[in-house]
Amino acid sequence: MVGGCPNVALRVFVRKKPNKSGVVSIQVISKRQGKYTVVKTIGSSTDPQQIQAFITQGEHYVSSIVKQSKINFEVENERAVIDLFFKGIDSIQLVGPELLLGRLFDEIGFNKIKGELFRSLVITRLVYPVSKLKTTDHLFKYTGSIIDVERIYRYLDKLNGKYKEQVQQISYAHTLKILDGQMSVVFYDVTTLYFEIEDEDDLRKTGFSKEGKHQHPQIVLGLLVSVDGYPLAYEIFEGKKFEGHTMLPVVEAFRKKYQLQDLIIIADAGLLSNDNIEELQQKKYNYILGARIKNETSALKQKILGLHLSDGQSVLLEKDSTQKLIVSYSTKRAKKDAANRRKGLEKLERNIANGKLTKQHINNRGTINI
């Protein structure tokens, strides 16, 4: 929005409308009771000087048809626009997030990160976790901040390049304070984040997607947290990297950075590989890794399946001379797994009945992907 005239019943302003062809159209728009109408198209061009000339013509046209003061929406007058926008409607401004989350933000120590944009992005993400573009709308609507989405993207690059270590250091120090200086157990997990683009680059590559977006380039994000889930460290890996190869680099860097001894690592079954276990043992880590019954020996499978455990009960089994298995039973998890199997079978039956099951759905291990 380039210029306009406020009115309770009618607003008229000049709009820059970019077209897919690259041409920018300058239009005079009216708004009455939430409905927008094109009053007049001043002109279209790709030349910046011509576009500015059309904007000036549009502003003169607005002045000629509406006898009210004109507002310039250029960046240098953004404060005047905000003051006008919020005049008389202060009640829609959100003060709770800043009063509550802003205080926590300061107590943790994140206010040491230079620039208000970091604070705004963190608090808004907690209150309204949406896309960066919608984040700018939220900030304008509820805080009066005019922030271009491209500025956010540039800042995120700066945050990762310049402030990453400081952010992690602040988070670690806060967590250590909460845990009374005891840092002996860490949890590691990974996720994938995909991008709505087709082309890959050095970081964004197609790979196994946890969100099922296998056709999209992605990155792999490894996160290290403490007891109760307080973040300690994170690392970004290229999208095609096997998640099992991400754990030890992150854990090793964390341990060396803070000179920690006797660290216990807890991770899920997806990170359980012979190479990982061997390296953990070589580096003398204590660890608890998730395991799958199907990956155990036949004898051990029979022993596990022969157990008759009640809800919440656990037993300790010897796997070999260096490893033990903790076998637990959960009624809630059993019901959840049974429901998922039932849904999978129903979907498979529908695909067979509709003739939608093809060779492409069967992987090289004979498993059907649906």
pLDDT-wise least confident of 267-271, 341-345, 358-362 = 358-362
Q: Return the pLDDT at 69.
A: 44
pLDDT tens-digit readout, 29-75: 887 766 778 888 999 998 888 888 888 888 888 877 765 444 454 44
Q: Tell me which CATH code domain 183-290 carries.
A: 3.90.350.10
Q: Which whole number is the average pLDDT over 331-344?
A: 92
Contacts of 174-182 with C-beta under 8 Å, sequence gap 24+, read: 174/108, 174/109, 174/230, 175/226, 175/230, 175/231, 175/232, 178/228, 178/230, 179/226, 179/227, 179/230
DSSP 202: S
Residue where the block lists tokens 């039932």: 342
Tokens of 14: 């000049």
Q: Which whole number is the average pLDDT over 251-270?
A: 89
Q: Return the pLDDT at 67.
A: 52
Cα dihedral 97/103/109/115 (nearest 10): 50
Q: Return the pLDDT at 107.
A: 94
pLDDT tens-digit readout, 154-164: 999 899 889 99
Q: Residue 178: which pLDDT band, with cuts at 50, 70 and 90?
A: very high
317: which strand partners?
A: 325
pLDDT > 60? residue 2: no
pLDDT tens-digit readout, 187-217: 999 999 888 888 888 888 988 887 777 788 9
- Choose between 84 and 256: higher pLDDT: 256
Q: Return the pLDDT at 91.
A: 44
Q: Return the pLDDT at 163.
A: 93
Q: Return the pLDDT at 216.
A: 86
Q: How many CB atoms lie within 10 A of CB 18?
A: 9
Q: How many CB atoms lie within 10 A of CB 189?
A: 17
pTM: 0.63
